[in-house]
Structure 1
Amino acid sequence: MEERLCEAAITGNTISLGEILAEDSIILDRVVVGCFKRSPLHVAVSLGHADFVRALLHHTPELAEVLDSQQRSALHLAAAKGRSEIAKELTRGKVEVLEELVQVNPHAARVRVGKGETILHLCVKHNQLRTLEKLLEIIKVQEFVNAKDDGGNTLLHLAVADKKN
């Protein structure tokens, strides 16, 4: 069953995921408690399968807290690979998880994605203000708050530009 779940994650096949869950409703719970060598969420995030990620998190939101063998969360992978849609999905309603993630790997919050954006830029860009507030509480580093993306935009620039649109 583990192999089928892994294959579904690799291909991003949400139909197969549904079939697997119908056959074994607690398979994702076993992932959460560490019975699997690798998390299907990490695999799907790495390969950019946003719909599969969404389906996994809908069924078992705790998967967002699972760390891989290198102590990285799925959010760390999403940020490192510039997968902003997936990062948004991983942080929706999970502000409390961010504190845990940043404590495990504080440098992950400084990773730049896409156009040189930090996770703070992504929070403003995707209107994730609760997440932004929590990150600012945790990070408390002024130069990070004033960081510019490749377009020279700080968080304030993005916030003001968003209000004009």
Structure 2
Amino acid sequence: MSTSSNMDERIERMNQAAQHGNIDAFYIIIQKDVKLLKHIDKLPFVNTPLHIAAYAGHIPFAMELMRLMASFSRKLNPDGFSPIHLALQNGHGELVCRLLEIDGELFRVKGREGITPLHYVAATECHLDRLEKFLEFCPHSIEAVTIRNENALHMALKYDKLEAFRLLVRWLQKNWSQNSILWESKVLNWQDENGNTPFHIAAVRRLLLYSGVNTFAKNSEGKTAGDILAQKNQIENREIKVMLRRVGALRAPSLPKVTFYARNLWCMFSSLEKTRMHCIGEWTQISDDRRNMLLVVATLLMTVTYQGVLSPPGELWQDDYLPEPNTTLPAIRKFNSSAPIPNEAGTPIDLRNFPFWVFLSLNSLTFMLSYSTILLLIPKQRPGLALV
């Protein structure tokens, strides 16, 4: 019993050191019990010294603990919050950035109800000036969902945080080089536990429409965004209805009937689209160094193949060529009408018996493959928002 009492006393003293950010006091306690941090780490739910330092905003103390016991950063306290959650809640944005510099994946750590730090920022609009920087540390946090299957866009719209929603969508538009082709298709059309996409929520709350959203999507009740709006007051939502009609949003009964053949055709195209998105995802996940190397190779191949058409091997006969005396074109064709006209302007001089059409086909194929590779590797931009 006394051993347990001594342990609790040392933990309390360490928590006090964390509360004041006193690193010297921290090491005095460690000298008396070198296994104290490991003992705390074994507890499933606990307010670690890092939780307390993050809550108080003591950056040096938090950095020292991250160096000694980084596993504390992913632990949840009895309230279901990680240290980075507590830092955000108490306005310590600089501390959040310092933690993310050490481990960017902390921005997708799930707390109570599966809420990540990104969900919290989207729902409260705290630290919006640092949102883009946070996402740079952990871009894949945009895919995380809560226990209600809500992503950050759902959270922003659910709590009427339009500015947070705008920033998230702009970030999706700008960051095409890091898997955001998949993000736009997946995140914007993601359905929560009720089958509502961000479009359903945005339409009801009169916030915005986005060109990348499926306007025909139905929720679990079989309703489109148009159906949800129709349940509201007619006068209040007249403007929204005009906007929905402009982008082609229909009510469920108005959707075109799908025949058996059309349904099979749609399934086939859906499968092809998933395959295409997977292939694009593989391309977009490569490292920047490898991307740059492939761009250089593809550009060189384009240059060589383009030049090959202008100046093929052996070059071309020019239009100032004069045939030999007593040789006329009709005379050549008299004996062999299918024979090619020798030395005609624009024909290759010498490809060493290699058919010119084979060279031209392979050269064109290489040019198109190089061009397609460059299109896949270069970041793209697409238009998007239609704000109300």
Q: TM-score, normalization: structure 1? A: 0.71
Select 1:75's aligned residue among 72, 84, 88: 84
Quote the Cα distance in structure 1 between the aligned partners of 2:113 and 2:94.
23
Deviations 1:98-155 (A, max 9, x none): 434268532653334997434xx524246x6131x12123255446499526xxx836
Q: Which residue of 2 aligns with 1:99?
A: 108
Change (3 A) 1:142 1:101: closer
Q: Which residue of 2 aligns with 1:134?
A: 140
Unaligned ranges ≥5, structure 1: 161-165
Change (3 A) 1:5 1:141: closer
The 8 Å contact of residues 99 and 138 in structure 1, kept in 2 or not, is answered as: yes
Deviations 1:28-84 (A, max 9, x none): 122111189532112111212111111111111001011111111111111111111
Unaligned ranges ≥5, structure 2: 1-9, 146-150, 175-388
Change (3 A) 1:69 1:88: same
Change (3 A) 1:130 1:115: closer
Counterpart of 1:122 in structure 2: which amino acid? R
Q: Which residue of 1 aligns with 2:21?
A: 12
Q: Which residue of 2 aligns with 1:154?
A: 167
Spell out the pairing of 1:19-30 with structure 2 (5 A cutoff): 19-30=28-39
Q: Which residue of 1 aligns with 2:127?
A: 117
Question: What is the SS of the residue equivalent to 2:91?
Answer: coil
Quote the Cα distance in structure 2 between the aligned partners of 1:36 and 1:71.
8
The 8 Å contact of residues 91 and 98 in structure 1, kept in 2 or not, is answered as: yes
Counterpart of 2:15 in structure 1: which amino acid? C
Quote the Cα distance in structure 2 between the aligned partners of 1:35 and 1:106.
18
Question: What is the SS of the residue equivalent to 1:29?
Answer: helix
Q: How many residues align?
A: 153
Question: What is the SS of the residue equivalent to 1:68?
Answer: coil
The 8 Å contact of residues 80 and 112 in structure 1, kept in 2 or not, is answered as: no
The 8 Å contact of residues 117 and 148 in structure 1, kept in 2 or not, is answered as: no
The 8 Å contact of residues 45 and 74 in structure 1, kept in 2 or not, is answered as: yes
Change (3 A) 1:4 1:35: farther
1:12 is displaced (CA, Å) by: 0.9
Quote the Cα distance in structure 2 between the aligned partners of 1:36 and 1:20.
22
Change (3 A) 1:10 1:138: same
Structure holding more helix per residue: 1
The 8 Å contact of residues 21 and 60 in structure 2, kept in 1 or not, is answered as: yes
The 8 Å contact of residues 19 and 56 in structure 2, kept in 1 or not, is answered as: yes
Deviations 1:3-42 (A, max 9, x none): 2211201211011112223332221122111189532112
Q: TM-score, normalization: structure 2? A: 0.34
Give the % identical residues: 20
Quote the Cα distance in structure 1 between the aligned partners of 2:121 and 2:153.
16
The 8 Å contact of residues 39 and 68 in structure 1, kept in 2 or not, is answered as: yes
Q: Tell me whether 1:65 sits opposite 2:54 in the alignment.
A: no
The 8 Å contact of residues 54 and 86 in structure 2, kept in 1 or not, is answered as: yes
Q: Which structure's relative contact order is higher, taking Cα pairs within 8 Å and 6+ residues apart?
A: 1
